[in-house]
């Protein structure tokens, strides 16, 4: 049996974006065995396919750099990874690098030298630089399509139809709260960088507008203690607004997201995780722009809330640049506009 190693180590949103493409390829190529190498936390993105295995690695945390990569390569090559040993006599004949960073470049080079065929993603870095410089502001190829291109180059069939996961059973912590006729709205109000995060005081007003509707229940998503504290402040005093940060595992959060009517998200991982289930996402964009190719899988540009009147955006691919005006005017978007789009998306 042909065996293929797929590498995509970080980050959460990017790894989630690979999941529907990997799943589609696995289903279209059932006679091929695929292994995904990624951060252990992301295992739930790649479960429930018979010809797909997940291999967890914390290689980023290793201090001895090249030596750790060499050890990882030897374990993968010899089939001695503790959580995913290879059958006797099997090895990887193909390596697909969906990350294209220094670690995966070293790893794929070692595999190439050992005789494996290697294929790597073209991230379109030059096009992205032209986009944020203002030299060429056009829609770039979606990242999901770039992932699919790598598999096509390697000779695999990639179906064109959407590959969505079915809804999943809701975690027992919510079993006392049947959905009934309620509108369940997910809100992921945080992002790693300021240039991707709608101001918290405005988001509070968005929540107030949404919760004026008695059939609306809001679930706040995020990660880490800092975001949990901020989400708790947002939820305080607001009935039918629940903080889900630190309450359940990633797999259980995904189950809840699969049952949402709509997700309100920044340009962040919640958009991509929700997209795995075909949940409609209203996304807020500041310094970044859907043109860069990071819109959620099969999401509509019509559900993107952004300022189209600013010639200064997009000014960043990752939202990590200082604002040239120091006021992040790209997020000067009225809460009423955001809330209206969310409520409209459910109807």
- Tell me the per-residue pLDDT of 259-274, one tens digit each, with 9 for 90 and over: 999 999 999 999 999 9
pLDDT score recorded for residue 95: 98
**What is the token pair recorded at 102?**
């220094």
Identify the residue whose tokens are 């990874």: 81
Q: What is the mean pLDDT of residues 330-339?
A: 98
Q: From CA 197, how far away is CA 10, in angstroms rounded?
A: 20
Predicted confidence (pLDDT) at residue 307 exceeds the cutoff of 70 = yes
Instruction: Check if the beta carbon of residue 15 is closer than 8 Å to that of residue 42.
Output: yes
Reported as a single tens digit per residue, the pLDDT across 60-84 is 877 778 899 999 999 999 999 988 8
Instruction: Check if the beta carbon of residue 302 is closer than 8 Å to that of residue 284.
Output: no
Q: What is the mean pLDDT of the chain?
A: 95
pLDDT score recorded for residue 89: 85
pLDDT band at 1 (very low <50, low <70, confident <90, very high): confident
Beta-carbon contacts of residue 340 (< 8 Å; ≥ 6 apart): none
Reported as a single tens digit per residue, the pLDDT across 18-38 is 999 999 999 999 999 999 999
Q: From CA 280, how far away is CA 186, in angstroms rounded?
A: 10
Beta-carbon contacts of residue 268 (< 8 Å; ≥ 6 apart): 13, 188, 190, 191, 192, 196
Q: Which is it for strands 183-188 and 216-220: parallel, antiparallel or unpaired?
A: parallel
Locate all alpha helices (DSSP H) within 290-334, ordered by sequence: none
Q: What is the mean pLDDT of residues 292-314?
A: 97
Instruction: Check if the beta carbon of residue 314 is closer than 8 Å to that of residue 288.
Output: yes
Instruction: Check if the beta carbon of residue 154 is closer than 8 Å to that of residue 187.
Output: no
pLDDT score recorded for residue 347: 56
Q: From CA 62, how far away is CA 78, in angstroms rounded?
A: 20
Locate all alpha helices (DSSP H) within the chain, ordered by sequence: 12-28, 65-78, 102-113, 125-133, 143-153, 200-211, 224-235, 250-258, 269-275, 335-346
Q: From CA 158, how far away is CA 293, in angstroms rounded?
A: 19
Residue 178: count other Cβ atoms within 10 Å of its Cβ. Answer: 9
Predicted confidence (pLDDT) at residue 178 exceeds the cutoff of 80 = no
Instruction: Check if the beta carbon of residue 187 is closer than 8 Å to that of residue 221.
Output: yes
pLDDT score recorded for residue 50: 93
Beta-carbon contacts of residue 265 (< 8 Å; ≥ 6 apart): 186, 187, 188, 271, 274, 281, 282, 283, 284
pLDDT score recorded for residue 174: 76
Q: What is the three-class DSSP state of 264?
A: strand
**What is the token pair recorded at 78?**
């010899």
pLDDT band at 175 (very low <50, low <70, confident <90, very high): low
pLDDT score recorded for residue 171: 76
Residue 309: count other Cβ atoms within 10 Å of its Cβ. Answer: 7
Predicted confidence (pLDDT) at residue 335 exceeds the cutoff of 60 = yes
216, β-bridge pairs: 183
Q: What is the three-class DSSP state of 172?
A: helix
Reported as a single tens digit per residue, the pLDDT across 187-227 is 999 999 999 999 999 999 999 999 999 999 999 999 999 99
The gap between the terminal CA atoms of the chain, to the nearest Å, is: 48
Q: Which of 253, 240, 227 is nearest to 184 (CA)?
A: 240
Identify the residue whose tokens are 């200082």: 322
Cis bond upstream, residue 11 (ω within 30): yes
- Which stretch of 119-123, 159-163, 252-256 has the lowest confidence by average pLDDT? 159-163
Angle 10-16-20 from CA coordinates, rounded to 5°: 135
Which is more confidently placed, 138 or 178?
138
pLDDT score recorded for residue 180: 85
DSSP annotation of 330 reads: G
């Amino acid at each position: 049996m042909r065996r293929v190693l797929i590498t995509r180590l970080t980050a959460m949103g990017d790894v989630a974006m690979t999941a529907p493409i990997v799943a589609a390829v696995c289903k279209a190529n059932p006679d091929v065995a695929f292994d995904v190498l990624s951060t252990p936390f992301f295992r739930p993105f790649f479960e429930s396919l018979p010809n797909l295995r997940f291999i967890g690695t914390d290689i980023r945390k290793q201090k001895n750099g090249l030596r750790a990569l060499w050890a990882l390569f030897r374990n993968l090559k010899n089939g001695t990874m503790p959580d995913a040993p290879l059958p006797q006599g099997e090895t990887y004949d193909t390596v697909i690098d969906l990350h294209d960073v220094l670690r995966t470049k070293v790893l794929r080079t070692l595999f190439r030298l050992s005789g494996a065929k290697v294929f790597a993603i073209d991230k379109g870095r030059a096009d992205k630089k032209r986009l944020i410089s203002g030299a060429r502001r056009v829609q770039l190829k979606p990242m999901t399509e770039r992932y699919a291109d790598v598999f096509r180059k390697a000779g695999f069939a990639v179906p064109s139809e959407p590959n969505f996961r079915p809804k999943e059973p809701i975690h027992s912590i919510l079993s006392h709260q049947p959905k009934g006729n309620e509108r369940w709205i997910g809100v992921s109000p945080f992002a790693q960088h300021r240039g991707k995060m709608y101001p918290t005081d405005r988001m509070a007003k968005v929540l107030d507008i949404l919760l004026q509707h008695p059939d609306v229940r809001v679930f706040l998503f995020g990660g880490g203690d800092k975001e949990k504290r901020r989400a708790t402040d947002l939820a305080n005093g607001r009935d039918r607004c629940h903080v889900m940060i630190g309450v359940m595992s990633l797999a259980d959060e995904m189950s809840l997201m699969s049952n949402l009517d709509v997700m309100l998200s920044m340009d962040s991982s919640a958009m991509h995780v929700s997209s795995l289930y075909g949940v409609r996402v209203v996304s807020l964009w500041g310094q970044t722009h859907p043109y860069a190719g990071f819109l959620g899988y099969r999401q509509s540009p019509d559900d993107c809330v952004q300022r189209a009147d600013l010639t200064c955006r997009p000014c960043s691919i990752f939202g990590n640049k200082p604002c040239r005006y120091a006021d992040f005017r790209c997020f000067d978007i009225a809460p009423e506009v955001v809330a209206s789009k969310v409520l409209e998306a459910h109807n």
